[in-house]
Amino acid sequence: MSAIVVIPARYASTRFPGKPLALLRGMPIIQHVYQNSLNARRADDVIVATDSETIFEKVLSFGGKAVMTSPDHPSGTDRIAEVASSMNCDIMVNVQGDEPLIKPEMIDDVIAVLDDSRASLGTLATPIRDNREIFDPNVVKVVFGPEGFAWYFSRAPIPYRRDEWKASVTGNELHVIVTHKGSSGHNSAGMTCACFKHVGIYSYRRDVLLRISSLPPSRLESIEKLEQLRALENGFRIKVRETSGETIGVDTPEDLERVERCLNSSS
């Protein structure tokens, strides 16, 4: 099956305007993402989809491919769907333009998920190793069955380990006390690995992407503010592959510094 990686990149950002062009080790973030994506063995092409002429010109300047898309898209999925409508391929891969640590093998893995004909979409997840992330609403959790098909995505801690987590409410604040039993199967934070963190890369069958983008936001999607719930609520099957890799999305200048430290520690 032919697969094209599309990297949505917009200039406007409330917390970090122009972040795709922010320099990381002397190179724009978008160039890091693009070059890492080019190294994926199962991707036939890589394209940046943007509503910014500045980003468009920057991508062309380093030899990349880019297309201009509508400035009115509410999400990266809609931006990718615009590109998909004029492409002839089997699979579209959504690689976020603000994740410079994306690894080529992660792209290969998410494409390989769709070797299973039962799957409409593919994505990745990794075990959570830091207790704080379990209860952080900015970290999306996923639960999936024995064959890897997603049951639900949430900003809440799922599955909730009733016997190990004790919750109480004081005023308007929720407090969770983490306890654990036994000594085996614990992660580096000292507790049983209870949750999987969603890694926000997706592979779509092209026709599925076009159908999902034409649907209105679903009820659970509107509550959790998670686009993938639109797919689940409309009967599309999302297959999850476990990965040991993690990425760091750059949402603020502080995130950029964190990525820089990660690159320095790994070099």
Distances (CA, A) of 212 to 89, 222, 228, 245, 254: 17, 15, 10, 27, 34
Query: Is the CB of residue 233 less than 8 Å from the CB of residue 217?
Result: no
What CA–CA distance (Å, rounded) separates 215 from 207? 13
What are the pLDDT digits (tens) for 37-53? 999 999 999 999 999 99
Indicate yes or no: pTM above 0.75. yes
What are the pLDDT digits (tens) for 52-78? 999 999 999 999 999 999 988 888 888
The pLDDT-based confidence of 255 (bands split at 50, 70, 90) is confident
Cis-peptide into 217, omega within 30 deg: no
Nearest to 33 by CA among 103, 90, 85: 103
Indicate if the pLDDT at residue 172 is higher than 70: no
Nearest to 198 by CA among 157, 141, 242: 141
| Domain-wise residue ranges, the chain | 3-126+198-255
What CA–CA distance (Å, rounded) separates 256 from 253? 5
Query: Could you tell me the fold of the domain covering 3-126+198-255?
Result: Spore Coat Polysaccharide Biosynthesis Protein SpsA; Chain A (3.90.550)
